[in-house]
Amino acid sequence: MTVMTHIADGKVVEIAISGRFDFSVHREFREAYENAVIDTPNPKYVLNLGSTEYMDSSALGMLLLLREYAGGDKCDIKITRCGPEIKEILDISNFNKLFDIEMSSH
């Protein structure tokens, strides 16, 4: 499991998660957004789950913590490149009401 972070234009925090998205990466995931050096008080977060093979309930909790950190209802978070299994987990959990979610184009 790997968490990679990239800052685009000082305003967009891009986080890519590969492998398993579970409790074993909670610290790495939290540090990815808390330690991001950005030039705006209200950054956009883009979570790339294109290489995520597995997601459990702790990952859902981590997404909620990111949402809270980013401003709750005022946050700008997009979850991208979800495979069908990951998208189904997010939909069953009604995360489509909290996040902008895009399926993988493959």
pLDDT tens track for 12-23: 999 999 999 999
pLDDT at 30: 97
pLDDT at 1: 62
Handedness of CA 52, 65, 94, 59 (dihedral sign): positive
State how far the Cα of 73 lies from the Cα of 25, in Å rounded to an integer: 25
Domain ranges of the chain: 2-103
CATH no., domain 2-103:
3.30.750.24
pLDDT tens track for 68-86: 999 999 999 999 999 999 9
Helix (H, G, I), strand (E, B) or coil at 14: strand
Q: Burial, 40: exposed, middle or buried (Cβ in 10 Å; 0-12, 13-18, 19+)?
A: exposed
Low-confidence ranges of the chain (pLDDT < 70): 1, 106
Specify the pTM.
0.93
| Residues with Cβ within 8 Å of residue 20, at least 6 apart in sequence | 1, 52, 53, 54, 55
